[in-house]
Amino acid sequence: MDSKASQTGRIVKALSGYYYVKPLDASSIEEPIQCRARGIFKKRGESPLVGDVVEFEETENGEGAVNRIMPRSSELIRPPVANVDLAVLVFSVTEPALNLQLLDKFLVHIEHAGIEAVLCLSKQDLAVDSEDAETARSAMNDVLRIYEPIGYQVLVTSSRQGEGTAALSERLQGHLAVFAGQSGVGKSSLLNALVPGLTLETNAISNRLGRGKHTTRHVELIDIGGGYVADTPGFSQLDFAELGIEELGSCFREMRELSSSCKFRGCTHIHEPECAVLAALERGEIAPSRHSNYVLFMAEMKEKKRRY
């Protein structure tokens, strides 16, 4: 049997040297085609990523070969996914407790990658009927109060009660999204609620450790009908290695908008006179938690630079 004509598809999974490619015109139930990458990529130092749109051809044994990688709109290093255009940051209102510092750290990375972010609060039912209900409610209100005014969409969900999942599903249509957030916040439960019949392993949180065990091992795209979600093994080892200190301020939306009004170019928004960001902070227009996390990240980055 001759190899067939070139087709266009998307890599939905990479495992042990194989790339699983789904033709762009395939239905969501069709099985992807198992492909190898041509040797030319290695020579060029390129490597196909999950999420890549590629040209491939089917070869004689029912397998295929990836011939060409189309230009990417974005590329994440950890987790390694290409063409992600939406990041859903999943944080639970409690269990584990909502950590605004970690939320801001995620947002810095997402803004730096130039990807749109949606904040998704999970386990909303715990804000009603749990012993931590008050803490959970206050965490939920903090997120709405701080992040909606700076332009982030906040979706409140409960996989257990199926609340908010329709709105989330609608938001994901037409996108290649990545779900990120610390372990144990309910990412897998949310995906299971979005895709009937999907049974991702969910892990109960080990309270003793205060964190969930990583349940996801390799990167795979889940077809949610009209969109894809990358189920990824953890965005949790975030460091600022790929980020320059001067770029940090531009990863905080509200500071990015104000920085052109600062007196000094390259203002760090920490101690300079006539700094538009500090003035806005004083007027209560910037959330104190956002600014103090910014100062903290700046110190963390300087400390790293000193060590290397």
186 has binding-site annotation: yes
Q: With bands split at pLDDT 50, 70 and 90, how would you rate the model's confidence at 103?
A: very high
Q: Are residues 50 and 170 in the same domain?
A: no
Q: Are residues 249 and 145 in the same domain?
A: no
- Point out the domain boundary residue: 71, 94, 117: 71
Q: Are residues 217 and 292 in the same domain?
A: no
How far apart are the C-alpha atoms of 180 and 27, rounded to whole Å? 27
187 has binding-site annotation: yes
Segment 164-179 shows an average pLDDT of 90
CATH number at residue 286: 1.10.40.50
Counting residues of the chain whose pLDDT is more than 70, the rounded percentage is: 87
- Is residue 4 scored above 80 in pLDDT? no
251 has binding-site annotation: no
Counting residues of the chain whose pLDDT is more than 90, the rounded percentage is: 44
88 has binding-site annotation: no
CATH number at residue 44: 2.40.50.140
Q: With bands split at pLDDT 50, 70 and 90, how would you rate the model's confidence at 205?
A: very low
Q: Are residues 153 and 174 in the same domain?
A: yes
Asked, for residue 1, whether it belongs to a domain, the answer is no
101 has binding-site annotation: no
Of the candidates 104, 81, 78, the residue with the CA atom closest to the CA atom of residue 91: 104
Q: Are residues 164 and 203 in the same domain?
A: yes
Of the candidates 287, 260, 294, 286, the residue with the CA atom closest to the CA atom of residue 275: 260
Q: Who wins on pLDDT, 104 or 97? A: 104
244 has binding-site annotation: no
Total domains in the chain come to 3
260 has binding-site annotation: no
pLDDT for 172 equals 93
- Point out the domain boundary residue: 182, 209, 231: 231
User: Would you say the pTM of this structure is higher than 0.85?
Assistant: no
125 has binding-site annotation: yes
How far apart are the C-alpha atoms of 59 and 54, rounded to whole Å? 15
Q: Are residues 86 and 28 in the same domain?
A: no
pLDDT for 127 equals 75
pLDDT for 212 equals 42
Q: What is the pLDDT of residues 244-278, one digit of tens each?
A: 777 899 999 999 999 999 999 889 999 999 999 99
Of the candidates 78, 50, 98, 92, the residue with the CA atom closest to the CA atom of residue 189: 92
183 has binding-site annotation: yes
How far apart are the C-alpha atoms of 105 and 299, rounded to whole Å? 13
Asked, for residue 237, whether it belongs to a domain, the answer is no
- Highest mean pLDDT among 30-39, 91-100, 218-227, 286-295 belongs to 286-295
Handedness of CA 290, 301, 121, 148 (dihedral sign): positive
Decide if 78 contacts 50 (C-beta within 8 A).
Answer: no
pLDDT for 216 equals 44
What is the span of the domain harbouring residue 197? 81-231
